[in-house]
């Protein structure tokens, strides 16, 4: 478990969940420790070089993540996280275009539904779910269930090219607002 010496903390939303990355950097001891969701994934003690990179994997798809450690003068350091070969902000921006996420309560429990627009894969609370797709008059519908509840992601075109395709989640026929994670 993290010991409270974190110099940087990031939250990374992937299709199978949101991962908290914490980085401990002991600048006097040379210690580097990376935690993902509270579990230690890298530990290096007595590193003489205080700058550099630490690379590890996130999520079920083993998405590559790298923490960059750079000196910014004196004994000050700057930490950045790259995910999937992109800066965290570029990764977040790319995911905003290629995925859509909904947070919904189902039978009193929180449920996170993610649509990967490029593959039309649907994830529910970290698990890829079985879906059935069909063409309808105004677009497509992707059907699946969450517990005993019927769900449908409707993909419709607004008719204008720059608006693209709108994806809506219906839970038991009711529209669910989209989330930012």
State residue 163's pLDDT score. 66
State residue 150's pLDDT score. 95
Asked whether the CA dihedral 121, 126, 132, 134 is positive or negative, the reply is negative
Helical (H) or strand (E) element with 89: helix 88-98
Reported as a single tens digit per residue, the pLDDT across 98-153 is 999 999 999 999 999 999 999 999 999 999 999 999 999 888 999 999 989 999 99
How far apart are the C-alpha atoms of 178 and 131, rounded to whole Å? 19
State residue 6's pLDDT score. 86
State residue 5's pLDDT score. 73
Q: How many CB atoms lie within 10 A of CB 56?
A: 15
Percentage of the chain beyond pLDDT 70 is 94
CA contacts within 13 A on the Cβ side of 131: 23
Chain mean pLDDT for the chain = 91
**DSSP class of 161:** G
Asked whether the CA dihedral 37, 43, 48, 53 is positive or negative, the reply is negative
- Residue 161 makes CB contacts below 8 A (sequence gap 6+) with none
State residue 3's pLDDT score. 56
Question: Does pLDDT of 67 surpass 90?
Answer: yes
Question: Does pLDDT of 4 surpass 60?
Answer: no
Alpha carbon separation from 53 to 2, 35, 49, 68 (Å, rounded): 19, 15, 11, 5
Percentage of the chain beyond pLDDT 90 is 73
CA-nearest of 26, 63, 65 to 46 is 26
State residue 83's pLDDT score. 98
**What are the chain's domains?**
6-84 (2.40.128.180), 99-176 (2.40.128.180)
CA-nearest of 107, 113, 68, 111 to 86 is 68
């Amino acid at each position: 478990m993290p010991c409270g010496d974190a110099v940087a903390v990031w939250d990374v939303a992937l299709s199978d969940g949101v991962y908290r990355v914490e980085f401990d950097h002991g600048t006097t001891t040379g210690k580097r420790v990376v935690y993902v969701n509270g579990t230690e994934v890298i530990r290096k003690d007595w590193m003489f070089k205080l700058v550099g990179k630490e690379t590890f994997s996130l999520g079920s798809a083993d998405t590559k993540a790298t923490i960059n450690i750079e000196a910014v003068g004196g004994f000050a350091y700057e930490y950045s996280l790259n995910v999937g070969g992109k800066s965290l902000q570029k990764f977040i921006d790319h995911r905003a275009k290629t995925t859509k996420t909904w947070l919904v309560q189902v039978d009193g429990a929180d449920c996170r539904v993610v649509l990967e627009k490029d593959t039309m894969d649907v994830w529910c609370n970290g698990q890829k779910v079985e879906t059935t797709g069909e063409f309808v008059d105004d677009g497509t519908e992707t059907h699946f269930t969450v517990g005993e509840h019927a769900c449908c992601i409707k993909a419709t075109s607004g008719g204008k090219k720059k608006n693209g395709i709108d994806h809506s989640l219906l839970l038991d026929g009711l529209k669910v607002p989209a989330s930012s994670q």
